[in-house]
Structure 1
């Protein structure tokens, strides 16, 4: 295993603050931690904005952005891929990197083409099967011939899905190591792309326990956020898209409200289903029980966890891990989640009864009712929430494991670079002169 600082090139299709999401937060956590340990991280990403600088540097982290102005869906993928190749050739060709870290398929394919003749190990972070996400989205959206733009997208979608799957396979087959967040995702990756499990490592998500922690006084936090202090509060934070199951959760709250009429569900997040979900709330007579908070700013997120009695993760499909589950548990807030994906791998460590069948609003409502009806069960779960995180998912524990994998995979490749006379650029004598 290498003990010297590593130089890592990370590539992702959109980065903070422009794009907010699980993979972006994951890369940011990784970059900050690796940088604090002395490693140098270069992040390559496309941007769709004129407001963000093409180059930023902060300590051991630098960000290089290349502009994409055309957002048409399928051409966008080509521009992401070709833009990555051109930007690498222009700015990074003479730079030495110990490891290439890929976090998205199309930019990953572009980087792969640029580095195909160099002796540098590739690590691919496989957080979700993107083509399946697109299939789910296709099933959930109605298209009409009277809307030509949407109808053409509908006709093109089978080809688009196949292209996404092909690009994803291109990356994972080329990678020397594929990192997934859960056993569920490892099995899915192996099944979809026929990748040997020996090339796949599980490194679960992590949470900063110094930022996400139980409050001294939950009700003071509620006052600060403008939430009711005298009612039971349930929280969910999700994109408002079909596979997140927010409609199932709202339906379950209808039954819960019959038992606890003062129940309060706070929904954080945005998405194209917002109006449809608000109509469902109105139809079920839950206007006094369900509140849409919209996008919750990152600096306030931990307070919403602290203010809540229960967090519910109602996902119906493809929950590759669930970082929000860790964040809620770290704040001492119990979580009820579905069996759609990797959620049971987390919640079973606390109590298997916290897991309910995906898409079953009755089972979900029954479990929520049981939670609020049994103070003994509440207390038992609350005692194990943060302890489970500290033992299994604390940031330092997980990211140190990830850093070990990066150092280990870089070592044999450095020996190849030293001994390969055809690649003088990578001889050991020149390594320290590279920036």
Structure 2
């Protein structure tokens, strides 16, 4: 617990209301909760002038993410130097290495904490980036992390990646899971009321996956699993919310398997409808095959009262095992997902009820809970530099 207010400069990626993503949502949630834990917040992100207007100048957008990379990096550098000059922070908190790197020279002498939300270079490689781009990203990450006296990871699994792949000493790594505004997802709706609001069928078992449509998310396996589950549950309905480069490929997979009535690609679902969508489902699934540090969607689903099955990848088991080990599938792949879904839908697996899901999310991942833990790491970094 801190004894005085900490002045922090928070370097994010995008401004969540303008561009949705897991990292952006966590940044947005955290900066809203940190003042309650004794941490003053100022920040910079890639975003429009409206960011400053919407936050009363607390967060500055240094330009659109659609700008060329050199322009963005120069704009990030100017913004960082200006913020440090106008109000020197006690700690600099980096959530995205790319926009931190241009300002490293101006940060000398200020304690730095990096929020490691995934191996950016490795994720890009899995999703098809060229090797030169991957090496450049790895260099940026390595340089920023080396300058950080403390690094916050979302799970033990990602802590091991930091130590093994980036050579970061384990004594500088702290595990703090992601945060979510539990009240935002805890809607006063029954499952049927949520379905009526979203015009979804009342009598069918609904499975939900909220994912970017990219390769490492395992959506191909999930679609193949539904083909198996359909044999015993012909009315099963899988809803996939999200957008990405695999949309056409996944739709073709659905059509080729004759699953047009059982699998629907919803595209991007606005934030105001997301909580109701979770609530409408019988169960959520996170079928990731690689590089999942935490999976914020697991906590969002639980906060909505909907249990979630996860593959045993990265930090996913850590996010749900404290609630029920039955929520962790034995392996990745269509067969394991189909077996787990089948048991969940026919009652062979006893799923946590909505109240248990919500209580677990509130106790372990609610914004104020996580903000206090992050503040303690910031204070630790400041004390180490004193």
Shorter-chain TM-score: which interval?
A: over 0.9
- Which residue among 79, 86, 110 is the counterpart of 1:120? 110
> Relative to structure 1, is the Cα distance of residues 94 and 382 closer, same or farther in structure 2, using a 3 angstrom cutoff?
closer
Deviation at 1:380, TM superposition (A): 4.8
Deviation at 1:218, TM superposition (A): 1.1
> Residues of 2 paired with 1:285 and 1:275: CA distance?
15
Q: Secondary structure at the match of 1:7?
A: strand
- Which residue among 203, 207, 217 is the counterpart of 1:234? 207
Deviation at 1:411, TM superposition (A): 4.1
**Is the counterpart of residue 397 in structure 1 residue 369 in structure 2?**
yes
What's the TM-score once normalised by structure 1's chain length? 0.83
> Residues of 2 paired with 1:292 and 1:136: CA distance?
22
- Which residue among 292, 316, 324 is the counterpart of 1:319? 292
> Residues of 2 paired with 1:240 and 1:363: CA distance?
21
**Is the counterpart of residue 110 in structure 1 residue 83 in structure 2?**
no
> Residues of 2 paired with 1:68 and 1:306: CA distance?
34
Q: Secondary structure at the match of 2:344?
A: helix
> Residues of 2 paired with 1:231 and 1:328: CA distance?
19
> Relative to structure 1, is the Cα distance of residues 296 and 54 closer, same or farther in structure 2, using a 3 angstrom cutoff?
closer
**Is the counterpart of residue 206 in structure 1 residue 179 in structure 2?**
yes
* Kept after mapping to 1: 8 A contact 2:101/2:144: yes
**Is the counterpart of residue 407 in structure 1 residue 365 in structure 2?**
no
**Is the counterpart of residue 167 in structure 1 residue 140 in structure 2?**
yes
**Is the counterpart of residue 266 in structure 1 residue 239 in structure 2?**
yes
Q: Secondary structure at the match of 1:210?
A: helix
* Kept after mapping to 2: 8 A contact 1:6/1:407: yes
> Residues of 1 paired with 2:142 and 2:159: CA distance?
14
Q: Deviations over 1:166-213 (max 9, x none)?
A: 110101111011000000000111101111110000001122222222
Runs of 5+ consecutive residues of structure 1 not aligned to the other structure: 139-153, 417-435
> Residues of 2 paired with 1:380 and 1:11: CA distance?
37
Deviation at 1:349, TM superposition (A): 1.9
Q: Over alpha carbons, which structure has the higher Rg?
A: 1
Deviation at 1:36, TM superposition (A): 4.2
> Residues of 2 paired with 1:290 and 1:221: CA distance?
19
Q: Deviations over 1:234-267 (max 9, x none)?
A: 1110001111111110110001111110111111
**Is the counterpart of residue 82 in structure 1 residue 74 in structure 2?**
yes
> Residues of 2 paired with 1:329 and 1:273: CA distance?
27
Of the structure 1 ranges 401-410 and 290-299, higher mean CA displacement relative to structure 2 is found in 401-410
Deviation at 1:381, TM superposition (A): 5.8
Q: Deviations over 1:40-59 (max 9, x none)?
A: 31111233x5xx34743636
Q: Secondary structure at the match of 1:88?
A: helix
* Kept after mapping to 1: 8 A contact 2:14/2:65: no
What's the TM-score once normalised by structure 2's chain length? 0.93
> Residues of 2 paired with 1:263 and 1:395: CA distance?
34
* Kept after mapping to 1: 8 A contact 2:39/2:375: no
Of the structure 1 ranges 205-214 and 338-347, higher mean CA displacement relative to structure 2 is found in 205-214
Q: Secondary structure at the match of 1:332?
A: coil
* Kept after mapping to 2: 8 A contact 1:350/1:381: no
> Residues of 1 paired with 2:338 and 2:316: CA distance?
18
Deviation at 1:25, TM superposition (A): 1.1
User: What residue number does 2:315 align with?
Assistant: 342
Q: Secondary structure at the match of 2:15?
A: coil
Q: Deviations over 1:45-77 (max 9, x none)?
A: 233x5xx34743636x612222368745xxx1x
